[in-house]
């Protein structure tokens, strides 16, 4: 009597001997071999459950199963079980379990891009279905600062266009805060504290930590500061606190002598460009800098993280085209900026 083994292509006899072997390819494209030689426990990689990828991404982004369980609103044991199932499906260890949390292995890092693709495809399919169902047309004006527009927004706009081909975005990239209540823009992506205006609504999509960075060329020539006490010996780039009052410029004013500040760009885009050019060291967003291989992480000052908000006005919140923009970009940035946080954590541990 022939019975099925754990491996579909093989058939084991009652005594465990291989009766037949169908040598081919597994669903993952891996050549199926060796079952005829080693058949004590014949196992082939099974096709993973695509739902497991959202658990994988949540752990990669938060660094812990507890953080992932909170993000997904499931139990921590469920997260651990789904990660174990995915590792079994691939036959690979995807995370290194450290006291500080879960760190993706080399295999996990390689899988990350594919998992993001699965997530993006699912989000795009849902958005397209919603757009077709609602017949969304027209335009939505979207404002953000120049740094976010140049470094974070363009890929998101490309994906939004694919999901909502009949909707047009009018992008206003400016470091000025446009008044949503007066109709100067429909939607805004901003870094700052929770809005206090009663007629603004939205969501905090991430918390933005600012750290000191320098270029690899600068570090090779001058070294890098490892703490505030080293900044006086380096060329520091900082915007003028009169133009950008806030915690970051206040910290620089308190800890960096004026003689060490070699350049004061008049906007954040100039700050980033001069950093990339190797002019000196500066404090910038981890989301912008952590994933850039041309930059070197120096240290993180003791500062409260800034919140990043996606906002619209109360009078526009239920207009379908505005709701579509809020839902799409809210989900996009919550996922993408969490990846930025994960990249920053990896760079700091490294």
Closest by CA position to 112, among listed 94, 126, 98, 100: 94
Give the fold, CATH level 3, of 135-208+306-349: D-Maltodextrin-Binding Protein; domain 2 (3.40.190)
Q: What is the DSSP string of 247-261?
A: HHHHHHHHHS-GGGE
Whether the domain at 50-134 and the domain at 135-208+306-349 fall into the same CATH topology: no
Checking phi first, is residue 281 left (phi over 0); if not, alpha (psi -120 to 50) or beta? beta
- β-pair type (187-191, 167-173): unpaired
**CATH no., domain 210-299:** 3.40.190.10
Q: How far apart are CA 197 and CA 313, in angstroms?
A: 10
Q: Quote the pLDDT of residue 262.
A: 95
Q: Quote the pLDDT of residue 21.
A: 36
Q: Quote the pLDDT of residue 316.
A: 94
Closest by CA position to 47, among listed 88, 11, 107, 82: 88
Closest by CA position to 211, among listed 265, 284, 275, 311: 284
Closest by CA position to 179, among listed 308, 306, 312, 310: 312
What does the block give as tokens for 140? 């939505």
Checking phi first, is residue 147 left (phi over 0); if not, alpha (psi -120 to 50) or beta? alpha
Q: Return phi, psi of residue 169, to 5°.
A: -100, 130
Q: What is the DSSP string of 76-100?
A: HHHHHHHHHHHHHHHTS--EEEETT
In the block, which residue shows the tokens 């490892």? 226
CATH class of 50-134: mainly alpha
Q: Point out which residues pair with 13 in neighbouring strands.
A: 2
Q: How many CB atoms lie within 10 A of CB 168?
A: 14
Closest by CA position to 116, among listed 273, 347, 335, 345: 335
Q: Quote the pLDDT of residue 16.
A: 38
Domain ranges of the chain: 1-47, 50-134, 135-208+306-349, 210-299
What is the mean pLDDT for each group of 10 consecutive residues in the chain (350 residues)? 39 38 34 36 50 87 88 90 88 89 90 84 76 75 89 86 89 90 94 84 88 96 96 94 86 94 90 94 88 90 89 93 92 64 50
- Structural element, H or E, at residue 299: strand 295-299
Q: Quote the pLDDT of residue 209.
A: 86
Distance from chain centroid for Cα 140: 25
Q: Quote the pLDDT of residue 195.
A: 84
């Amino acid at each position: 009597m022939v019975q099925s083994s754990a491996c579909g292509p093989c058939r084991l006899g009652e005594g465990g001997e291989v009766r037949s072997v169908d040598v081919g390819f597994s669903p993952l494209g891996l050549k199926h071999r060796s079952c005829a030689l080693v058949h004590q426990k014949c196992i082939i990689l099974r096709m993973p459950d695509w739902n497991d990828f959202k658990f994988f991404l949540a752990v990669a982004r938060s660094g812990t199963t507890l953080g992932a369980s909170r993000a997904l609103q499931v139990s921590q044991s469920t997260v651990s079980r789904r990660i174990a199932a995915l590792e079994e499906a691939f036959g690979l260890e995807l995370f290194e379990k450290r006291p500080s949390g879960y760190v993706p292995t080399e295999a996990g890092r390689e899988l990350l891009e594919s998992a993001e693709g699965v997530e993006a495809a699912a989000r795009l399919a849902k958005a397209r279905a919603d757009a077709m169902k609602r017949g969304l047309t027209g335009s939505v004006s979207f404002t953000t600062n120049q740094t976010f527009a140049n470094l974070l927004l363009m890929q998101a706009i490309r994906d939004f266009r694919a999901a909502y081909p009949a909707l047009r975005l009018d992008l206003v990239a400016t470091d000025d805060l446009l008044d949503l209540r007066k109709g100067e823009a429909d939607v805004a992506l901003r870094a700052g504290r929770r809005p206090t205006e009663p007629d603004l609504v939205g969501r905090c999509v991430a918390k933005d930590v600012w750290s000191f960075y320098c270029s690899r060329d600068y570090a090779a020539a001058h070294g890098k500061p490892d703490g505030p006490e080293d900044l006086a010996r380096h060329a520091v780039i900082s915007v003028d606190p009169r133009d950008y009052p806030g915690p970051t410029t206040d910290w620089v004013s308190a800890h960096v002598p004026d003689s060490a500040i070699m350049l004061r760009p008049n906007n954040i885009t100039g700050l980033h460009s001069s950093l990339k050019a190797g002019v000196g060291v500066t404090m910038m967003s981890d989301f912008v800098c952590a994933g850039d291989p041309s930059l070197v992480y120096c240290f993180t000052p003791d500062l409260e993280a800034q919140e990043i908000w996606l906002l619209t006005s109360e009078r526009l919140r239920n207009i379908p085209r505005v709701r579509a923009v809020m839902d799409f970009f809210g989900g996009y940035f919550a996922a993408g900026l969490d990846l930025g946080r994960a990249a920053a954590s990896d760079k700091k541990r490294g």
